[in-house]
Amino acid sequence: MIPVALHAQLPDSVRRERGREPFVTKRDLAAAGGVLAASALASLLDREIYRAFQDTGVQESRHLRNGAELFNYLQETYLTLGGLAAYGVGRVTKQRALADVGFHVAEAVFVASLGSQAIRGPLGRARPTTNEGRDQYDFHPFQGFGEFKYRAFPSIHSASGFAAASVIAREAAERWPKQKGWIAPVAYALAATPGLSRMYLGQHWFSDVVMGAGIGLVAGQRVVTFNHRNPHNVVNRFFLGRGGSSEATTVKVGFERRF
């Protein structure tokens, strides 16, 4: 008696299930190009926005100062640790959805941070405080690797925040559709605060924050899409168990032949 199962799936479904889909696709590269174009346009407003944030009345506001210093902590290290903490709790308590979402948040923040570092080091854009906001096109190629003041573009705070928010919003839409109406707006509102705080503190131009937000959005969306289409990839199997992502579904049509 030999059971034989035939899986009736579209070719691309088979390719995705076997993990052959590349992590970075042409669509992702096109999205990154759009983000870069948006950032270039935003740079035209950099000096004016910098001056608005550095206005004496704005800077002397105790509430704004306290808020900026608070949200400044929403950065890659704490967001990654938060995601891993949620993952750990989910694994220990056997809440598969919590483990998935937490781990995907950590993944997305890592990808967004790594991508941002790969850009800012070679580019070497000067932070606004370096030239007192006079020149947003002050670049020092490759000096970003060794000099903090030449690591403005893009904002990793912004990239990390939007990467985490993008994952949470997307996962909520797929797992808890009735709750997505409030989860997504809250997540993205919080994601905007680190970039705004960095602008208030004079560490980033407006275009740095725009580029960082775009990188975070692309990274978060891609991490969720890739893991849901390739639920049994090596990373998922190692960290989430043999079942991969809990959202993985496969339509199967089969029959048995008995001899």
- The 10s digit of each residue's pLDDT in 124-174 is 999 999 999 999 999 999 999 999 999 999 999 999 999 999 999 999 998
Please provide the CATH number assigned to the domain covering 22-229.
Answer: 1.20.144
- Residue 189, burial from CB neighbour count under 10 angstroms (0-12, 13-18, 19+): exposed
Banded pLDDT at 205 (limits 50, 70, 90): very high
* Whether pLDDT at 35 is above 80: yes
Domain ranges of the chain: 22-229
pTM: 0.83
Widest Cα–Cα separation across the chain? 86
What pLDDT is attached to residue 95?
92
pLDDT tens per residue, range 49-102? 999 999 999 999 999 999 999 999 889 999 999 999 999 999 999 999 999 999
The whole-number pLDDT of residue 255 equals 36
| pLDDT-based confidence at residue 123 (cuts at 50, 70, 90) | very high
Kindly indicate the confidence band of residue 15, based on its pLDDT and cuts at 50, 70 and 90: very low
Q: How confident is the model at residue 10 (pLDDT cuts 50, 70, 90)?
A: very low
CA-closest candidate to residue 206, choices 216, 220, 192: 192
Whose CA is closest to 230, among 41, 21, 49?
21
Instruction: Name the helix (H) or strand (E) containing 26.
Output: helix 26-42
Does residue 46 have a pLDDT over 60?
Answer: yes
Q: What is the mean pLDDT of residues 37-44?
A: 97
Task: Look at residue 17 in the predicted model and tell me its pLDDT.
Answer: 45
Q: What is the pLDDT of residue 244?
A: 60
